[in-house]
């Protein structure tokens, strides 16, 4: 860990099980519930494989339902707090598209399907990504209910997305999505919040503990 020289390459590899879990090329998921169930299945497998938190996401062609990119939470296995499912899926979709704007001309309307309501970081990432719609399974309450911190979101985050032209659909297969979260917690999965959400006094000697 003590390499003297700052590193300048980051490689994020998805786990081997995920490659095997991918459907045949160009598989389409016409109904939004089909898309969500596929994503919930990835969250369940990620949890069972121990490769990260119980969260998955995918980018689909919102018209045809064709799968474009997948992502699972890889915080613990990649040692990266940035490696949330939505971030991975957006990065892979942009790599596929060859552009930083998934809403750019020449692309079909793309949607991000997430097994759970995004945290503050991922919510902030969504407008920059260019996706046209966000579909969520479990709610923020389901996520915080097992101990994860969702961060400081705008009070009405749905409106913030909608004002930027991103439609929001919530509670799609919520019970199935929430069940994956509960199983993860029951089986002792790592709740990996930095410092468990507690304040540090190391750089704030005056901070209340």
Shortest reach from residue 133's CB to a second copy, in Å? 5
Q: Which of 44, 86, 150, 176 is catalytic?
A: 86
Rounded CA separation 70/114 (Å) = 10
Closest CB to a second copy among residues 186, 209: 209
In the complex, the smallest distance separating the C-beta of residue 31 from a second copy, rounded to whole angstroms, is: 15
Q: Which residues pair with 167 in a beta bridge?
A: 133
Q: Rank residues 99 and 171 by Cβ distance to a second copy and give the closer one.
A: 99
**Residue 86 bears catalytic tag:** yes
Residue 49 vs 120, nearer CB to a second copy: 120
How many angstroms separate the CA atoms of 134 and 103, rounded?
13
Q: Helix, strand, or coil here: 86?
A: helix
Tokens found for residue 171:
């509670």
Q: Which of 174, 170, 176 is nearest to 138 (CA)?
A: 174
Strand order in the sheet with 110-116: 67-72, 56-61, 110-116, 133-138, 167-169
In whole angstroms, the minimum distance from the beta carbon of 142 to a second copy comes to 19
CB of 180 to a second copy, least distance (A): 21
> For residue 107, which of 61, 173, 145 has the smallest C-alpha distance?
61
Residue 22 or 175: the one with the smaller Cβ distance to a second copy is: 22
Active site residues: 86
């Amino acid at each position: 860990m003590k390499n003297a020289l700052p590193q300048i390459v980051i490689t994020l590899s998805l786990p081997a099980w995920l490659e095997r879990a991918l459907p045949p090329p160009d598989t389409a998921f016409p109904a939004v519930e089909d898309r969500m169930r596929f994503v919930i299945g990835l969250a369940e497998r990620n949890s069972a494989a121990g490769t990260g938190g119980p969260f998955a996401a995918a980018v689909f062609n919102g018209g045809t339902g064709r799968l474009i990119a997948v992502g699972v939470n890889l915080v613990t296995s990649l040692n990266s707090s940035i490696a949330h499912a939505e971030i991975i899926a957006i990065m892979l979709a942009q790599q596929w598209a060859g552009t930083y704007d998934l809403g750019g001309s020449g692309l079909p309307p793309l949607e991000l399907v997430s097994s759970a309501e995004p945290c503050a970081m991922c919510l902030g990432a969504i407008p920059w990504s260019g996706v046209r719609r966000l579909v969520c399974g479990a709610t923020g309450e389901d996520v915080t209910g097992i101990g994860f911190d969702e961060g400081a979101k705008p009070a009405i985050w749905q409106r913030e997305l909608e004002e930027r032209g991103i439609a929001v659909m919530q509670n799609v297969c919520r019970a199935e999505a929430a069940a994956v979260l509960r199983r993860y917690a029951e089986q002792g999965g790592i709740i990996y919040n930095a410092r468990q959400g507690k304040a540090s006094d190391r750089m704030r000697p005056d901070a209340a503990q």
